[in-house]
Structure 1
Amino acid sequence: MAETSLPAGADHRQPRLYSIGHSNHPVEVFLGLLVRHRIETVVDTRSQPRSRWASQYDKAVLEETLRERGFRYLFLGRELGGRPEGAEYYDPEGRVLYDRVAASRRFASGMERLLGLSGRTALLCSEEDPAVCHRFLLIARVLRERGMPVEHIRGDGSVQTDEEVLAVESDGQMSLFDAPEERPWRSIRSVSPAELPRTSSRP
């Protein structure tokens, strides 16, 4: 796995964490968001690091683009991705069981690598809206429970805190702390691979 060197001026403190979704932005728009928020490292959390509609975000292409612009790139899609390998991480409807993912050794390994970084670090996935993405529903929740808040960069350049994302999602009816426990901790949509190994609960 190739990584680029840190940009000039990067510090060596515990990372300040952001999240960002590339959506179908032109790559220059995406890069502009990174520059605007002084991001130093992009951590790719996509299980499938390619885009059918936006090939500029295919892993090899994006990694080279970021390297040329002076950003550091780290792929952690296997460890922190929202579509993990293994039927045990999915319910019968194909939704990801985040509690099982968060308890896995693979996820713990990814978190250790993430927290070993320094400077301003952005968790990358494809969804523009963090409220419907595992980077908020899974990764940011685990980080928040560890006392490490994540700020979410939106496509218009604004930034939302976890509290603000949840307030928009729930129309202000639920607090940040009681909402997750009131709902099953799983993905919003079915995201299972086309073929999963058979289990006793999946005919």
Structure 2
Amino acid sequence: MIYTIGHSNMTQESFVEIMKSFKINIVVDVRSSPYSKFVPHFNRENIKKSLIENGTRYIFLGDYIGGKPRDKKYYENGKVNYMRVAQSDRYSEGINRIIELNNENNIVLMCSEEDPYNCHRHNLITQTLVKNGLEIIHIRKNSSDKIIKADKKDIQTTLF
């Protein structure tokens, strides 16, 4: 099982508490650009430091599986074409790294968008992981009272 979460505008303290409540030991940052002017405590260096201080590892994979790749070949009419991203070797490397990390750890994929259905962590990454037989749980704001299990019925056949 792999968890996902969007930090949105929550406090760093709330985020750390959610990680503890789900017994997460690795946060995998899947943001293409791990910085925010609205919630700077989620800037890469800040959140990494806070997580480490609380006994949680931080790994950045946004350059492999981020939702806004730098290369323009992944765009069509100004929008990211997830099918193209999913077919890339770099994306496959990132997915393989997630699967590897998940073998002996309790991981969460973190992005900024709170609603997974408006985020590449559901619309791209979850699609791939579910097809590979993994169970995905989206943690929503307010943690345990807001979790969504993604399974095969959630696979969007139009994407792949």
Q: TM-score, normalised by structure 2?
A: 0.92
Corresponding position of 2:75: 90
Structure 1 position 55 matched with structure 2 position 40 = yes
Q: Which amino acid is the alignment partner of residue 140 of structure 2?
A: R
Matched residue, 1:143: 129
Q: Which structure 2 residues correspond to residues 15-164 of structure 1 after superposition, within 5 A? A: 16-92=1-77, 94-117=78-101, 118-157=104-143, 158-162=146-150
Residue 176, structure 1, aligned to residue 160, structure 2: no
C-alpha distance in structure 2 between counterparts of 1:50 and 1:89, whole Å: 22
Q: How far apart are the structure 1 equivalents of 2:25 and 2:148?
A: 19
SS for the counterpart of 2:59 is: strand
Q: Which has the larger radius of gyration?
A: 1
Instruction: Using the TM superposition, give the Cα deviation of residue 119 of structure 1 relative to its aligned residue in structure 2, in angstroms.
Output: 1.6
What percent identity do the matched residue pairs reach?
37
Q: Which runs of 5+ in 2 are unaligned?
A: none
Alpha-carbon distance in 1 for matches of 2:52, 2:5: 18
Deviations 1:14-69 (Å, cap 9, x if unpaired)?
xx310011101011111111111111100000000001100000001111111111
Rounded Cα–Cα distance in structure 2 between residues aligned with 1:37 and 1:156:
12
TM-score normalized with structure 1 length: 0.73
2:79 aligned counterpart, secondary structure? coil
> SS in structure 2 opposite 1:114?
helix
1:176 CA displacement: 2.8
Separation in structure 2 between the aligned mates of residue 62 and residue 38 of structure 1, nearest angstrom:
17
Q: What secondary structure, in the 3-state scheme, does the structure 1 residue paired with 2:129 have? A: helix
1:161 is paired with a residue whose SS is strand
| More helix as a share of residues | 2
Distance 1:48 1:79 in 2: 12
Q: Which has the higher strand share?
A: 2
Question: Structure 1 stretches (4+) deviating beyond 3 angstroms?
Answer: none
Q: Distance in 2 between matches of 1:60 and 1:135?
A: 21
Q: After TM superposition, give the deviation of residue 75 of structure 1 in Å.
A: 0.4
